[in-house]
Structure 1
Amino acid sequence: MNGPRVLLGVAGGIAAYKSAELLRRLTESGHSVRVLPTASALEFVGAATFEALSGQPVQTGVFADVPAVPHVKLGQEADLVVVAPATADLLARAAHGRADDLLTASLLTARCPVLFAPAMHTEMWEHAATQDNVALLRSRGSVVLEPASGRLTGKDTGPGRLPDPAEIAELARLLLERPDALPQDLAGRRVVVSAGGTREPLDPVRFLGNRSSGRQGYALARVAAQRGAAVTLVAAHTAELGDPAAVDVVRVGSAAQMRDAMLAAVKGADAVVMSAAVADFRPSALAEHKIKKGSTDPDPLVLTKNPDILRELVGGREPGQVIVGFAAETGDADGDALHHGRAKLARKGCDLLVVNAVGDGRAFEVPDNAGWLLGADGSEVELANGSKALLASRVWDAVASRL
Structure 2
Amino acid sequence: MSLKDKKIILAVTGSIAAYKTPQLVRLLVKAGAEVQVVMTEAAKDFVTPLALATVSTKEVFYAVSNGAHWNNHVHLGRWADVLLVAPCTANTLAKMAQGLCDNMVQAIYLSAACPVVFAPAMDEDMWLHPATRANVQQLQSYGHHLIPVESGPLASGLTGPGRMAEPETIAAWLEHFFAPEQQPVAIPPNTKALITAGPTYEAIDPVRFIGNFSTGKMGIALAEALAERGIPVDLVLGPSKESTQHPLITTHKVVSAREMYDACERLFPEAAISILSAAVADFRPQEAAAEKIKKGSEDTMQLTLVKNPDILAHLGAIKNAGQTVVGFALETNNELEHALKKLKAKNADMIVLNSLQEAGAGFGHDTNKVTLLSADGTQTALPLQSKKEIAKSIVDCVLALKYNNA
1:277 paired residue among 271, 279, 287: 279
How large is the Cα RMSD of the aligned pairs? 4.5
1:341 paired residue among 339, 342, 346: 339
| Separation in 2, partners of 1:313, 1:285 | 26
Distance 1:249-1:284 versus aligned 2 partners, 3 A rule: same
CA deviations 1:162-184 (Å, max 9, x no partner) are: 84517787994995799246937
Residue aligned with 2:382, SS: strand
- C-alpha displacement at 1:323, in angstroms? 0.7
Alignment match, 2:220: 218
CA deviations 1:107-150 (Å, max 9, x no partner) are: 899x9xx895744146335231588867988945x753689998
Instruction: Tell me, yes or no, if the aligned pair for 1:72 and 1:106 is still in contact at 8 Å.
Output: yes
Residue aligned with 2:299, SS: coil
In structure 1, list runs of 5 or more residues that go unmatched: 1-8, 20-34, 39-59, 61-69, 80-87
- C-alpha displacement at 1:352, in angstroms? 0.6
Alignment match, 2:303: 301
Equivalent AA in structure 1 for residue 198 of structure 2: G
Say whether residues 1:258 and 2:207 are aligned partners: no
Instruction: Tell me, yes or no, if the aligned pair for 1:327 and 1:341 is still in contact at 8 Å.
Output: yes
Equivalent AA in structure 2 for residue 165 of structure 1: S
Alignment match, 2:348: 350
| Separation in 1, partners of 2:42, 2:253 | 35
Alignment match, 1:100: 49
- C-alpha displacement at 1:396, in angstroms? 2.1
Alignment match, 1:366: 365
- C-alpha displacement at 1:282, in angstroms? 0.8
Alignment match, 2:176: 179
- C-alpha displacement at 1:37, in angstroms? 3.7
- C-alpha displacement at 1:187, in angstroms? 5.1
- C-alpha displacement at 1:214, in angstroms? 0.9
Normalised by the length of structure 1, the TM-score is: 0.67
| Separation in 1, partners of 2:202, 2:122 | 32
- C-alpha displacement at 1:248, in angstroms? 1.4
**1:44-83 to 2 correspondence within 5 Å?**
73-77=26-30
Identity of aligned residues (%): 31
Equivalent AA in structure 1 for residue 224 of structure 2: R
- C-alpha displacement at 1:397, in angstroms? 2.2
| Separation in 2, partners of 1:154, 1:185 | 28
Say whether residues 1:120 and 2:106 are aligned partners: no
- C-alpha displacement at 1:294, in angstroms? 3.3
- C-alpha displacement at 1:239, in angstroms? 2.8
Residue aligned with 1:272, SS: strand
Equivalent AA in structure 1 for residue 151 of structure 2: P
Instruction: Tell me, yes or no, if the aligned pair for 2:234 and 2:251 is still in contact at 8 Å.
Output: yes
Alignment match, 2:391: 392
Alignment match, 1:165: 151
Distance 1:119-1:232 versus aligned 2 partners, 3 A rule: farther
Equivalent AA in structure 1 for residue 97 of structure 2: E
CA deviations 1:296-315 (Å, max 9, x no partner) are: 33421221111110000011
Residue aligned with 1:372, SS: strand
Equivalent AA in structure 2 for residue 351 of structure 1: D
**1:223-238 to 2 correspondence within 5 Å?**
223-238=225-240
Q: How many residues align?
A: 330
**1:174-213 to 2 correspondence within 5 Å?**
179-180=176-177, 183=184, 185-186=186-187, 188=189, 189-213=191-215
| Separation in 2, partners of 1:283, 1:174 | 52
Residue aligned with 2:251, SS: strand
Which stretch of structure 1 is more off in the superposition, 156-165 or 383-392?
156-165
Say whether residues 1:144 and 2:118 are aligned partners: yes
Residue aligned with 1:266, SS: helix
Normalised by the length of structure 2, the TM-score is: 0.66
Equivalent AA in structure 2 for residue 363 of structure 1: G
| Separation in 2, partners of 1:363, 1:132 | 49
